Amino acid sequence: MTQKNRTEISELGEFALIDRLNSRFSPQQPSTLKAAGDDAAVIALDDDNALLVSADTLFEGVDFDLTYFPLKHLGYKAVTVGVSDILAMNALPQQILISLGVSAKLPVEALDDLYEGIRTACTELGVDLAGGDTSASFTGLTIGITAIGRAPKNQITYRSGAKLHDLICITGNLGAAYMGLHLLEREKRVLKDIQNPQPQFEGHEYLLQKYLKPRARKDVVESLAEEKLLPTAMTDISDGLASDLMQICKASCCGARIYLERIPIARQTHEMAEELHNDPVVAALNGGEDHELLFTVPLALRDKIADIGGIDIIGHITEPERGAALITPDGSEIKLKAQGFKE
């Protein structure tokens, strides 16, 4: 008997796995404008408009820990995670569907809280809860989010449109969500066996909010539209700046140079990093879950980007041969590495 081959998922890595699984499919429906390989699928509506659909799942124990994650915030964050994929196509979200797996350990009141958070986010974003599914799960809480949006075809921004010399832009700041997570994990460890634990969160509200209740950057997509400013490529920061920038480089067949001192990192992130003996740049590059937008624009739009405010230009697109690299203040180049999920 021949030994059947066994390849561990960790050998291949998340991104190669997704490529491998999707490689045997080729779209047949004329309405499928973009299948796998971007933040959302793009489906033709008519000559001028398209629909965007994305699917994500959040797993208890992997994506959230209910010992410190309030269910109201979790509901809110689930909506952010879903609609960020639509915003990342430069489109506005309109509907979400929630597919829940619930274990018997959660009372109905916990699900009320979860849905209260979902409702708050939906109201803020003008998004409708349009359905879904609830089933039993033996293995903890699972939240599936389908997000649906709409945009004129010529406004949809793919990962694949970055051009040589384009500017690389980032909204908000990076690494704060990662630091919020580490703070929560530290308090959980420290207070593990203590009755009525009193975690020390004063002064860190900003980091906790960035991790527990991140806001989807609908405002940015609206500002870009108001300024008639069309990015060439776009994605959201879900896996970390390094991974997400490399996705743009791969899809656009280009390289990138980003400058360490230009990466926006909040004061609170720096302070927490020092306290935890952590590197804030590593948090910004690999931390993920910031749900900020990463996009490229032609060089000529530099001043217009500055006018919008809250957007930092952190580098530029290069020839593909040069790869994706971080430039330190002393001029040395550090090659970027993608971080997929860990097994």
Shortest reach from residue 56's CB to its own copies, in Å: 5
Q: Kindly identify the residues of this chain, within the stretch 126-155, that bind its own copies according to CB under 8 A.
A: 126-140, 142, 144, 146, 148, 150
- Binding-site member from 1, 2, 4, 202 for its own copies (CB under 8 A): 4
The residue with tokens 């990076």 is 174
Residues in contact with its own copies, counted by CB under 8 A, come to a total of: 85
Is residue 45 close enough to count as binding its own copies by CB under 8 A? yes
Q: Kindly identify the residues of this chain, within the stretch 15-44, that bind its own copies according to CB under 8 A.
A: 17-18, 20-22, 24-25, 27-29, 31-32, 34-38, 40-41, 43
Is residue 98 close enough to count as binding its own copies by CB under 8 A? yes
Between the alpha carbon of residue 191 and those of residues 73, 183, 185, 196, the distances in Å are 21, 12, 10, 9
Q: Which is nearer to its own copies, 16 or 306 (CB)?
A: 16
Structure token pair of residue 92: 């506005």
Q: Check: CB of residue 141 under 8 Å from CB of residue 102.
A: yes
Shortest reach from residue 170's CB to its own copies, in Å: 22
**Of 63, 41, 89, nearest in space to 216 by CA:** 89
Shortest reach from residue 87's CB to its own copies, in Å: 16
Is residue 115 close enough to count as binding its own copies by CB under 8 A? yes
Between the alpha carbon of residue 94 and those of residues 150, 218, 234, 311, 342, the distances in Å are 7, 11, 19, 25, 32
Q: Which is nearer to its own copies, 124 or 312 (CB)?
A: 124
Is residue 341 close enough to count as binding its own copies by CB under 8 A? yes
Between CA 251 and CA 334 the distance in angstroms is 21
Using left for φ > 0, alpha for ψ between -120 and 50, and beta otherwise, residue 195 falls in beta
- Binding-site member from 193, 303, 321, 343 for its own copies (CB under 8 A): 343
